[in-house]
Amino acid sequence: MKKLFPDANAALEGLPFDGMTVMAGGFGLCGIPEHLIVALRDSGAKDLTFISNNAGVDDWGLGLLLQTRQIKKMISSYVGENKEFERQFLAKELELEFNPQGTLAERCRAGGAGIPGFYTKTGVGTVIAEGKEHKEFNGETYIMETGLVADLSIVRAWRGDEQGNLVYRKTARNFNPMMATAGRVTVAEVEEIVPVGTLDPDDIHTPGIFVQRIIQADQEKRIEQRTVREREGA
């Protein structure tokens, strides 16, 4: 199976459709599949449900798809950096399913592992628990959360080979490994494509069996919030 594609548009060809569910790796702007997000925007697919830690910022990441009104629903844990997200949500133009961050990560991992549901203490006694099954274990109350799967997962890695084996780098790993396993089709963009056999098997975070398509693409690496201090004596 040929997995290597020349660019993001080619890698997504035939995959997007209206109403689909998409998992997008990343945390803030760190480790986001920025080229695949732009290609998905350009596909014109609409009424999308996105499973992602956040919705990017107003002019980058998933914020680009908010601008074009292609996102119908977000399943997220943090959305505080995006004014357009806030506007659409308060105007009831966008559906939102909030998750505690660890719960969101576990829901993605569970979906990729074929686990339909699990119990957690996180959220017990809060609005997160409303309408969910409660169960006691050893005298403690837990709520049931469901595993998540997606029609398409788009992820960002540091290095990959032509078989789709992926290595992530430091904090850019974040949600990417879990989401790579939970997509019916997974497309990865990486900074460097290396020959098969170059990656040490012990260093591989996502085995190629989970990845159907891969591209090489440089990353802009924007800084989400730039904080500087005044130079002493200035």
pLDDT digits (tens, 9 = 90+) for 73-94: 999 998 877 899 999 999 999 9
In contact, 40 and 22? CB cutoff 8 Å:
yes
What mean pLDDT is predicted for residues 167-188?
Answer: 97
Q: Considering its fold, how many domains does the chain have in total? A: 1
| CATH assignment of the domain containing 101 | 3.40.1080.10
The Cα 70–Cα 49 span in angstroms is: 9
**What's the pLDDT score for residue 224?**
73
pTM of the model: 0.94
pLDDT digits (tens, 9 = 90+) for 5-43: 999 999 999 999 999 999 999 998 999 999 999 999 999
- Which domain does 34 fall in, by range? 8-116+147-216
Residue 67 lies in a domain: yes
Residue 105 lies in a domain: yes
Q: Indicate whether 1 pLDDT > 80.
A: no
**What's the pLDDT score for residue 67?**
96
**What's the pLDDT score for residue 168?**
98
Look up tokens 């992602």; give the residue: 52
The Cα 16–Cα 13 span in angstroms is: 7
Q: Where are the beta strands (DSSP E) in 109-176?
A: 117-120, 134-137, 140-146, 150-161, 166-167
Residue 130 lies in a domain: no
Please state, rounded to an integer, the average pLDDT across all residues of the chain: 95
**What's the pLDDT score for residue 139?**
97
Which amino acid belongs to residue 179? Answer: M
Query: Considering only CA atoms, which of 210, 175, 188 is closest in space to residue 30?
Result: 175
Residue 122 lies in a domain: no
Residue 225 lies in a domain: no
Residue 187 lies in a domain: yes
- What is the DSSP secondary-structure string of 178-201? HHHHSEEEEEEEEEEEE-TT-S-G
